[in-house]
A and B are shown apart, each in its own frame.
Chain A
Amino acid sequence: GESVGLHLPTLSVQEGDNSIINCAYSNSASDYFIWYKQESGKGPQFIIDIRSNMDKRQGQRVTVLLNKTVKHLSLQIAATQPGDSAVYFCAERTTGNQFYFGTGTSLTVIP
């Protein structure tokens, strides 16, 4: 399969601070990327996506940045809340229309 990795396995932030979660992908031909949130014992939940022809996309409190030059993806969460505590995965879609997931980062928000 493809290799998609994360730089930080765990991240702790104070409530109200901004969080940044990073992801490196390996397939330069991947055309679509998604960030997912997964709470314990549940399936992944879509957060935000970005296509390879974009370098930034904003949602509600979340922003995804894509740097194709260095094959790097990041998720920024503004004003992090306790409910944001979860594991976050990036996923890339390859030319075969398959999604490969990164290692995951466990985000803990400290009240």
Chain B
Amino acid sequence: GAVVSQHPSWVICKSGTSVKIECRSLDFQATTMFWYRQFPKQSLMLMATSNEGSKATYEQGVEKDKFLINHASLTLSTLTVTSAHPEDSSFYICSASRPGEQYFGPGTRLTVT
């Protein structure tokens, strides 16, 4: 199957700082990328949907000014957690999709101290 990578795989940051997470589709051009958040022992919650070159569509309850998404190309989307707080600590997973298929990245663990 197609490969989706995320970087970094784990990041620890101090409260109040911003963290950027990258999602790349390595061997295909993704028309759409999705960002999910997963707390321990819970399911994946869709945060936003982004199409290359357009603004992301955020799910209800997700603050777009806090979780900035940039989808600069068909192979790269970034999620920036701004002014991170301990409650933002979570596992962030992206997925890249092309018609009929969706592939998940390995996830990025964010720990805010």
Partner-B contacts on A (CB < 8 A)? 1, 34, 36, 41-46, 89, 96-104
The closest CB in chain B to the CB of A102 belongs to: B43
Cβ contact within 8 Å between A41 and B46: no
Chain B window 51-63, contacts with chain A (Cβ cutoff 8 Å), 1 for yes, 0 for no: 0000000011000
Cβ contact within 8 Å between A104 and B43: yes
Residues of B within 8 A of A36 (CB): 104
Cβ contact within 8 Å between B43 and A43: no
Residues of A within 8 A of B91 (CB): 41
Give Cα distance in the complex from A42 to B95, angstroms: 13
The closest CB in chain B to the CB of A46 belongs to: B1
For window 2-57 of B, CB contacts with A under 8 Å fall at: 6, 32, 34, 36, 42-46, 49
Choice from A45, A98, A100, A104 contacting B42 with Cβ under 8 Å: A104
